[in-house]
Amino acid sequence: MNKVRILGIGSPSGDDQAGWLVADALSAMGVDACIDRLDRPGANLIPLLEDTAWAILIDAMQSGSPIGDIRRFGTETWPAYSQGLSSHGLGVIDALSLARELGSLPSRIDLYGIEIGPVAPGTTAGDDIQAAARQLARHIAADLAASR
Amino acid sequence: MSEQKRTVSIHVPVLARVEGEGALDLRIDDGAITQLRLRIFEPPRFFEKFLEGRHYTEIPDMVARICGICPVAYQVTAAQALEQLFGVELDPWARAMRRVFYCGEWIQSHSLHIHLLAAPDFFDCSSAIELAKIAPDEVRRGLRIQALGNELMELFGARSVHPVGVRIGGFHGAPPLARIREIREKLRAALPEAEALIRWAASIHVSQDDQAFVSVAMRHPVDYAIERGLIGVSDGLRIEADAFDAHFAEQHQAHSTALFSSYHGEPYLVGPLARLNLNHDRLPEQVKALLAETGLVLPSRNLFHSLVARAVEILLALHEALCLLDAYRVPDSPWVPVSPRAGIATGCTEAPRGLLWHRYEMDDDGRVVNARIVPPTSQNQARIEEDLRLSLLNFGLDRPDDALRLHCEKVIRNYDPCISCATHFLRMNVERG
């Protein structure tokens, strides 16, 4: 099993497209991986991680950092970001934590966050976000190339 | 027994999430509940206004946005109400596949609620993540069943969240036979899993509770009612959807912007337990046999049996979907033509959380003049308050504050309200007199 899965998580609202933009950029580069754009996957994220050796997830974040900042989260820092479980708001961290308990996590998992500003429906992502998405896509592509 | 009386004030200020905002105020003075108010602010009200002026072709996709968990219920209810007004006779294929589509939603929504929301409460776990430590196989099974429900929704709706498959007159498209064969195999393979789920759900220890309440659910002459039937009440009333207002009333309460529903002036229950109470004689024989094996006596007066009721309905939905897909054929057209007409359209179906009622006034061009949607959560609101009051008395008001809060959460979550997400974030201020 050596499948690489890239999951860009977002929505059509402004900067929240950050994860999708990275997924689109990686698709355009033709990287050899299974690439999906997801919108609030909730618990459905768990089956997507099955039969996957390396999962790369990109989501938007609001942490107070400058807009466009990129951070990579290690598994040891997940719980700090958990907001609990709910039917309508099962977050990415919750789903990943549940997958970990169930032993369903891929052997390698990279979780990236791109800092975004206020989000408004119907708007396009800001220039800072577009630039950050391109930068992160190049970084991920290089990472993939180095591992092959 | 302690003689000490205390004053407790539990105030849950804001429960704000996607589907609704709510709050819970509980005050206990000298060992008696002096205030208990569940306040929910239901966003579906806004949708009624959004719908005004919209063409009938837009309605299924718009109402699907009301709920991320039960979009099919909203789509199918709206479509069927309008089809009845427009005098549309659906192809038998479309009628059957609407039920299959709906089964997918019951399967995913019920499995989600059982495993991620309700079950942790009964194992003293704060979340499904904790539950997964002690019952990993059961949680895995629950996620598999939920995923299968989603797959069934995707099959007819193109996607499971806010699906887009339904149109007035049928569906936009028909899945090819190869995909149906594939899902039939998966449904068949899930039957023993769902049977095991019922046994597990029935084995979970729940508090003994005995409450008198009115159950309201749709009732069909043959089927376990999901998408068609009369509105039935446990006192024997049977009415068409258009007679809803003659027996049920919605009214504002001073402490809430949400509408409280009542049946002849009294709170009532909608949802899986109300359905099972009224319709257990309509279950397929295999499901009936398994239900008898669990020893659950129906009608039940213990709301904590809602969990096992959901499990039973998952197995029922799997059976129904399999049975209807066994005769699957690709239709000449998945939809029939529609000509709008002016008038009042009313309709109802059984959303996973209970009876969902729609009313649309349409003009000659097929545009909405006004719309009214009565969702299950608002119908259960008065019943939840009543339940909280009764079950807290049964539980014991002298328990520690944390225990009272957790019990309130457990009772509220048991109804699977659209604010269930928010009830996980209950914050309370305690004042002692």
What structural domains and CATH numbers belong to chain A?
A: 4-147 (3.40.50.1450)
Structure token digits, residue B184 = 């039939």
* Residue B60: inside a domain: yes
Q: How far is B400 from B414, CA to CA, in rounded Å? A: 21
Checking if the pLDDT of B423 tops 80, the result is no
DSSP state, residue A102: T
Average pLDDT estimate for B103-129:
91
Q: Pick B427 or B192 by higher pLDDT.
A: B192
Checking if the pLDDT of B117 tops 80, the result is yes
Place of tokens 């059509």: A12
Does residue B430 contact residue B401 with C-beta atoms inside 8 Å? yes
B263-317 pLDDT, tens digit per residue, is: 999 999 999 999 999 999 999 999 999 999 999 999 999 999 999 999 999 999 9
Structure token digits, residue B284 = 């397929």
* Residue B390: inside a domain: no
Residues 6+ apart with CB under 8 A from B84: B345, B347
Predicted local distance difference test score (pLDDT) of residue B40:
67
Q: Which of A45, A50, A85, A92 to mutate to test the interface with B (most CBs of B within 10 A)?
A: A85
Residue A147 touches partner B, C-beta closer than 8 Å:
no
Question: What CATH number should be reported for the domain holding residue B274?
Answer: 1.10.645.10
B55-101 pLDDT, tens digit per residue, is: 999 999 999 888 778 899 999 999 999 999 999 999 999 999 999 99
A34-38 and A4-9 strand pairing: parallel
Backbone angles phi, psi at B335, to 5 degrees: -145, 160
Which of B140, B160, B424 is the closest to A86 by Cβ? B424
Predicted local distance difference test score (pLDDT) of residue A94:
85
* Residue B342: inside a domain: yes
Is B424 close to A85, i.e. CB distance below 8 A?
Answer: yes
Predicted local distance difference test score (pLDDT) of residue B260:
81
Alpha-carbon gap: A133 to the closest alpha carbon of chain B (Å): 26
User: What's the number of domains chain B is made of?
Assistant: 1
* Residue B409: inside a domain: no
Mean residue pLDDT of chain B comes to: 88
* Residue B13: inside a domain: no
Q: How far is B90 from B336, CA to CA, in rounded Å? A: 7
Q: What is the ipTM of this complex?
A: 0.84
pLDDT band per the 50, 70, 90 thresholds, residue A88: low
Chain B residue closest in CA terms to A95: B129
pLDDT band per the 50, 70, 90 thresholds, residue B424: very low
Mean residue pLDDT of chain A comes to: 88
B354-362 and B368-374 strand pairing: antiparallel
Predicted local distance difference test score (pLDDT) of residue B352:
96
Q: How far is CA B274 from the centre of its chain?
A: 11
User: Which residues of B fall within a CB distance of 8 Å from A102?
Assistant: 132, 136, 139-140, 143
Beta strands in chain A (DSSP E): 4-9, 34-38, 54-61, 70-73, 108-115
| The model's pTM | 0.90
User: Which residues of B fall within a CB distance of 8 Å from A97?
Assistant: 129
Structure token digits, residue B336 = 């029939």
* Residue B339: inside a domain: yes
Predicted local distance difference test score (pLDDT) of residue B11:
58
Predicted local distance difference test score (pLDDT) of residue B3:
42
Q: Pick B311 or B11 by higher pLDDT.
A: B311
Residue A79 touches partner B, C-beta closer than 8 Å:
no
Which of A44, A88, A98 is the closest to B17 by Cβ? A88
User: Which residues of B fall within a CB distance of 8 Å from A121?
Assistant: none
Is B421 close to A87, i.e. CB distance below 8 A?
Answer: yes
Place of tokens 């309700």: B118
Predicted local distance difference test score (pLDDT) of residue B433:
42
User: Which residues of A fall within a CB distance of 8 Å from B128?
Assistant: 85, 98
Q: Could you give the angle at the alpha carbon of B184 between the alpha carbons of B102 and B282, nearest 5°?
A: 50
Query: In the sheet that B343-351 helps form, which strands lie side by side, from edge to edge?
Result: B343-351, B354-362, B368-374
Average pLDDT estimate for B136-153:
96
B352-395 pLDDT, tens digit per residue, is: 999 999 999 999 999 999 999 888 888 998 999 999 999 888 88
Predicted local distance difference test score (pLDDT) of residue B161:
75
Q: How far is B156 from A72, CA to CA, in rounded Å? A: 38
Average pLDDT estimate for A36-48:
87
Checking if the pLDDT of B19 tops 60, the result is no
Q: Which of B109, B116, B125 to mutate to test the interface with A (most CBs of A within 10 A)?
A: B116
Range of the domain at B275: 44-380
Predicted local distance difference test score (pLDDT) of residue B402:
82
Q: How far is B290 from B315, CA to CA, in rounded Å? A: 10
Residue B68 touches partner A, C-beta closer than 8 Å:
yes
* Residue B30: inside a domain: no
* Residue B247: inside a domain: yes
The share of chain B scoring above pLDDT 70, in percent, equals: 88
